[in-house]
Chains A and B, each alone.
Chain A
Amino acid sequence: MANVSVAAEWQLLGDRYYRKPDLYHPLRWKHIDLSRNKVACAPFGGPIALIRDDSKIVQLYAESALRKLRIFNSAGVPLSETIWKNPGGRLIGLSWTDDQTLVCIVQDGTVYRYTSHAELLEPNFSILGQEYLDENVVECVFWGNGVVCVTDACKVFSIADFKSKNPRPLRLADPAPEGIEELPHCVAVIEPQYTMSGNVEVLLAIGDGVVMVEEDEVQPLPLPPGDGPLQKMVVSGDGRFVASFTHDGRMAVYSTRLEKIFEYECESALPPEQLAWCGLDSVLLYWDDMLLMVGPSDEPVRYLYDEPIVLIPECDGVRILSNSSIEFLQLVPNSTVSIFKIGSTSPAALLYDALDHFDRRSAKADENLRLIRSSLSEAVEACVDAAGHEFDVSRQRTLLRAASYGQAFCSNFHRDRIQEMCKTLRVLNAVRSPEIGIPLSIQQYKLLTPSVLIGRLINAHQHLLALRISDYLGMNQEVVIMHWACSKITASLAIPDATLLEILLDKLKLCKGISYAAVAAHADKNGRRKLAAMLVEHEPRSSKQVPLLLSIGEEDTALIKATESGDTDLVYLVLFHILQKRQPLEFFGMIQARTLARDLFINYARCYKHEFLKDFFLSTGQLQEVAFLLWKESWELGKNPMASKGSPLHGPRIKLTEKAQSLFAETKEHTFESKAAEEHAKLLRIQHELEVTTKQAIFVDSSISDTIRTCIVLGNHRAAMKVKTEFKVSEKRWYWLKIFALATIRDWEALEKFSKEKRPPIGYRPFVEACIEADEKGESLKYIPKLTDPRERAESYARIGMAKEAADAASQAKDGELLGRLKLTFAQNAAASSIFDTLRDRLGVS
């Protein structure tokens, strides 16, 4: 039976099964001998970097004398290579960071970084501090995005984050006391994400013990007696355990505070070449031709290899790379065990078996199904889960078919599960294909997340697959297309701008809302300014388009686009940019004909750049605007406290006003303004004189009318008259002003005298109004009878509460509406009210 053959490949460690399927066999590379190379394999099925180990002798004829850094995908397909001729001594450490940058550290501490395309990332820098440059790096331990180095003087340095723009090396505390330069036997790190402090902790086996080193602290950790010195140490993937190899041939597992949890006595006291955790359940030890897997039970599993291997720890197992193949050693998942374990009668196994019977048209299929009816959904779930863990496509298919078969009889199974798993497997199978060479397990895929996977695909220039996957998973394709477009530009130096534009637009249009400006910026960075200009034309968002146009020097276009966008903020952005780069006159010329830009500039300059604004108006011949500015300045002088005290500052004020006047006079359209400025200057002079003669600082900056009023109130009628004549104040206005001024000082006698000077040009109503407003009914009665319009008379009487007189006047006017209104005014007064009713009746209005 098929089931038997599956389980036959498993090995039992304690009570748990392990399996070791081939991921790729054979590998695509040729003539690679791992033992002669330094090897760095990125986790999550990432690329493999190889470089000849310079501590080994070069075999003439068999190898090129040139040292090369070569990068392959996990299936051994060559991706890139470059000649290694970096100075700095022997290569000590080589490892991939989380974002798949290859970090190489050489003896003198220089750090070289490469992309997966074997392109050197500038700048190089030293991991050693300035004053330790003469020391040599002897050991490097990497984690996610960081590294710890130990020098031959036993100093410890660390870089916490290679991803940051400017990775800064940090010197940690010295593990050994001053003067003692004993090198550690081995080093291990606990990643910052697992430490209390959030900083890296380094374990160093020195002498018989272990010390833990932090940034500014050294802490000796006592080892159980007899364990030290330790030959090898490695920290588990979750940062909780340390596996180690003791001097006397024992493999010991400690907590990170070195309390022993478990130990196993090996047959050899020679330390293994490699020591690695396989998931969290077992530890692998590799000697020359043997791989030993030790678990919590007594009996380990042994694998024999006749070629060198490299262990690549993953979150859920270990990948084993050899010259000819790559395998994945993992704990067999529970669902798989329940289906394929020999003699299993679990519901899932029965379901799987039922499918087999069904395919062979055996009635036993139905019998199986009936047996597991109550736990059918559980069985379906197990089949789906097991399918996910399979690398073999035909087995995935069989398991999914079993699930699907079971689901047909199962009412309460979440149907999307199978569909989802199919989707996931399609993606996984696609990236596992040797051309792509990313052999992710489902667990790794989930930990990595689809968006990071897509990021890795595009970094590997697998744009088409990335695009298809993101489309298939319903993710935004923008990031893929954007990266493609940028890579395309970089790679297409020989293609003319117009042709390349066509090619790019064709793809860019696939994605709504993509930033053409970002692509254009990239083109500009690659020295293709014309292409950038053509691309940015297609950017619909002005807020992205305009800054880019500025950066590629298209200032005119930027100004036009900013103006068209209606976004004043963008217009200002362009304005200030041009202002900074051009001469003022050139700037003025650019904005003069552009209304919005010009007006915005004026608004800005009006608040903070008065003189500059004056220059602008002068250069563009807008003299009246200059005049307004000068006039405004004259007022600002007035606000100066020195000026209001009648000091000679009046002189400059008047001068400025007169200058404004003459500028206004330059253009015919501004005669009115010119006249006003002239009058203003004259008024200032007169007011100044008045302040001097009256010794009262109350005139300056009041209006002509107010000046007249003030003079009258002060009893200075001659001065009032002088102002009147100077400014040709009309009789009408003069009367209003004088009447109200006299009422203000309640000089009723003078008022009466004034009313009799001659027949008032505005009648007697103003006299009545002034008296009523001053609440002088008696005075008002002097003038009410003189009102010629009976309506006005009626209303005036009404206002001072004389109903009878009001009614008489109203009846003279024969105005029904007026009567009605007056009646309302007297609503509270029954007697008065009836008078109006009678009158209204008489007039025949209702």
Chain B
Amino acid sequence: MGSRGCVRFRGIYVLPIRGKKCLIIDPKLGGSLSSIIQTSLLKEHGVELRHLSAEPIQSDCTKVVFLVRSKIDLMKFICSNVHNDISKGLQREYHVYFVPRRAVVCEKVLEDEKVHQLMTIGEYPLYVVPLDEDVLSFELDLAYKESQVDGDTSSLWHIAKAIHKLEMVVPEINTLILLDREVDMVTPMCSQLTYEGLIDEFLHINNGSVELDASIMGVQQEGKKIKVPLNSSDKLFKEIRDLNFEVVVQILRQKATSMKQDYTEMTTTTQTVSELKDFVKKLNSLPEITRHINLAQHLSTFTSKPSFLGQLDMEHTIVEAQSYDICYEYIEEMIHKQEPLVNVLRLLILFSVTNSGLPKKHFDYLRRELLHSYGFEHMATLNNLEKAGLLKKQETKSNWLTIKRALQLVVDDTDTANPNDIAYVFSGYAPLSIRLIQHAVRSGWRPIEEILKLLPGPHSETKRGRFSSSPSFDTLQGASANIDRAADGRRSLVLVVFIGGVTFAEISALRFLTAQEGMAYDMIIGTTKIVSGHNLAETFVEKLG
């Protein structure tokens, strides 16, 4: 996988406000900022850091800087903070920095609330956050919901801008693949089975790290949480992150065993100095091995649960799309048992999407049972899902079987240890999204055009652009781009952008593709956000109240 370019994105943005100040940040920005600014550095510069909420500011700084995404609903927090100060007779200097740019609508709200004239407004043009060597995020976690449910397509403009910026910084990108999440809502709803994917499913990776009880990592400190960084600077993680979890367990076991063996030899036989050296070198990797053994052990407490196995089984049954009734009853039972709503929604979405909706009777029944079990306030949730087309009444016959067969999405004998297909990431299901990219890269969209027509969403010309023959950015790069880069031994660089989010499992599958022999492309992945079925489904959960 190409690590070209992404690092160049680590820019340092400086807010031009001198002196002691209270910096109030939008909690959602916290993570992406921490990958750019160190909080300790802020403290050194006399900055008090707070999270934005309805609670009034507790600070005696005279300068207050709000750093927020340009979202309408955040404005009420700013307004209530300022109103609170005014009512207490506090005079402060307010600055609002919008990420990534000012928004007319936000300023309108500030005007409506009569606080606009008290503010100095600025912009903080953070469009792209590098998450890893080959992954860039635009940090738009609500992009899918906003555009599908609310009809607010602001994120698309943001994405276009981000791609434009990328183009300037990494001019060697010569092909762009845009993939709308809408095309494949099946994949994210399935439980990821790669190591990194599973960690995300159960422990929620946040900006390249997970937070865990210290005891899990073998640190005996009562109730203390620790952050475990997960990125490619950890050599062992880089090696195993994309593998199926089953295999990871075996690899870790082997490593531990061989370490133990070496140690025994070391203590029982006499060693030459160079052998000693080798051993010490191996010892250096011991903390990494321990870390991942702890993590893997913790994960297996989840993966061995019958409920998880049952859920996996059900996901495969739904994707197979051969046994409607079993699936229907399983979901009905989940609702009756009042299992966590998001888990239910994931399966329900998967079920509805693969069946292109549910027969009216079932649709109404399950919705009623859901409202009865989880409360009528979830009418809004159901309404959201319906608007997004993720849970709907069946109106046409489903194309899923055709798609599944034509693209060979279900692969029966998957050798997870020595995979020869991307299906290993879901132990037998090849993610539709990545299968499409695989086809695009190998032979262009044309041969699968008929299938593309069956997929949701309009298929514009650009989507089916002649991929292999002429990269779409030729005209921008001038004549030199016409030279086939693959021919001179250097791989072309493809930017794959997932509009609406991508899962770790899909990233793994893409990395697997680029590692294949004869692949003429390196890939950089751009995404609105790293998602899992859990947090994607969660974005639709809304209460009326």
A: residues with CB less than 8 A from B are: 566-570, 572-573, 576, 595-596, 598-600, 602-604, 607-608, 628, 631-632, 635-636, 638-639, 672-673, 675-677, 679-680, 683, 701-706, 727, 729-730, 732-733, 736-737, 740, 762, 766, 795, 799, 825
Contacts and interface: CB of A to CB of B under 8 A. Distances in A.
A568 B157 contact: yes
A599 B372 contact: no
A97 to B, nearest CB: 32
B108 A572 contact: yes
B376 A679 contact: yes
A551 to B, nearest CB: 15
A635 to B, nearest CB: 3
A635 B377 contact: yes
B224 to A, nearest CB: 28
Contacts of B73: 607
Contacts of B75: 607
A573 B544 contact: no
Given A736-B337, A740-B337, A595 B364 contact: no
B253 interface: no
Contacts of B544: 628, 631-632, 635
Contacts of B336: 732-733, 736-737
Contact of B368 (A567, A600, A676, A737): A676
Nearest to A567: B157
B223 interface: no
A161 to B, nearest CB: 25
A607 B154 CA distance: 17
B153 A729 contact: no
Contacts of B380: 628, 632
A596 B545 contact: no
Contact of B108 (A603, A604, A680): A604
Interface in B88-134: 101-105, 108-109, 112
A627 to B, nearest CB: 10
Size bin of chain B's contact surface: 35 or more
A795 B102 CA distance: 59
B76 A607 contact: yes
Contacts of A732: 332-333, 336
A727 B375 contact: no
A596 B109 contact: no
A702 B156 CA distance: 38
Contact of A604 (B72, B306, B337): B72
B153 A603 contact: no
A603 B72 contact: yes
Given A673-B379, A733-B336, A569 B101 contact: yes
A572 B383 contact: no
A704 B367 CA distance: 14
Nearest to A597: B151
Nearest to A766: B337
B545 A729 contact: no
Contacts of A635: 377, 543-545
Nearest to A576: B108
Contacts of A672: 364, 367-368
B151 A596 contact: yes
Nearest to A577: B104
A722 to B, nearest CB: 15
Interface in B149-169: 150-154, 156-157, 160
Contacts of A566: 153, 156-157, 160
Contacts of B262: none
B105 A638 contact: no
Contacts of B333: 732, 736, 762
B369 A608 contact: no
B247 to A, nearest CB: 16
Nearest to B73: A607
Given A572-B108, A604-B108, A704 B373 contact: yes
Contacts of A680: 376
A451 to B, nearest CB: 26
A703 B112 contact: no
B328 interface: no
A576 B306 CA distance: 56
A631 B379 CA distance: 10
Nearest to A683: B376
B297 interface: no
B271 interface: no
Contacts of A733: 336, 369, 372-373
B73 to A, nearest CB: 6
B338 interface: yes
6 contacts: A566-B160, A572-B108, A600-B105, A603-B72, A608-B76, A703-B371
Contacts of A636: 545
B9 interface: no
Contacts of A573: 104
B200 to A, nearest CB: 25
Nearest to B103: A569
Given A566-B160, A676-B379, A596 B153 contact: yes
A795 B306 contact: yes
B400 interface: no
Interface string B300-316: 00001010000000000
Contacts of A799: 306
A703 B152 contact: no
Contact of A569 (B104, B332, B376): B104
A727 B101 contact: no
Contacts of B112: 608
Q: A736, A762, A795: which has the most chain B beta carbons within 10 Å? A: A736
B279 interface: no
Q: A576, A636, A705, A729: which has the most chain B beta carbons within 10 Å? A: A705
- Please name the 4 residue pairs, one residue from A and one from B, whose CB atoms are nearest each other, closest first: A599-B151, A635-B545, A703-B375, A680-B376
Contacts of A701: 375, 377, 545
B512 interface: no
B330 interface: no
A682 to B, nearest CB: 10
A36 to B, nearest CB: 57
Given A607-B76, A736-B336, A727 B372 contact: yes
A354 to B, nearest CB: 48
Nearest to A702: B375
Contacts of A737: 336
Q: B112, B543, B545: which has the most chain A beta carbons within 10 Å? A: B545
A802 B109 CA distance: 65
Contact of A576 (B104, B332, B369, B383): B104
Interface in B1-38: none
Nearest to A734: B336
Contacts of A607: 72-73, 75-76, 109
A83 to B, nearest CB: 47
Contacts of A675: 368
A595 B151 contact: yes
Nearest to A563: B153
A608 B109 contact: yes
Contact of A638 (B76, B373, B374, B545): B545
Contacts of B373: 703-705, 733
Contacts of A595: 151
A405 B530 CA distance: 69
Interface string B362-390: 00100111011111110110010000000
Contacts of B306: 795, 799
A683 B374 CA distance: 13
Nearest to B105: A572
Contacts of B105: 569, 572, 576, 600, 604
Contacts of B104: 569-570, 572-573, 576
A729 B365 CA distance: 11
Contacts of B304: 825
B362 to A, nearest CB: 13
Contacts of B367: 672
Interface string B318-341: 000000000000001100111000
Nearest to B374: A703
Interface string B128-149: 0000000000000000000000
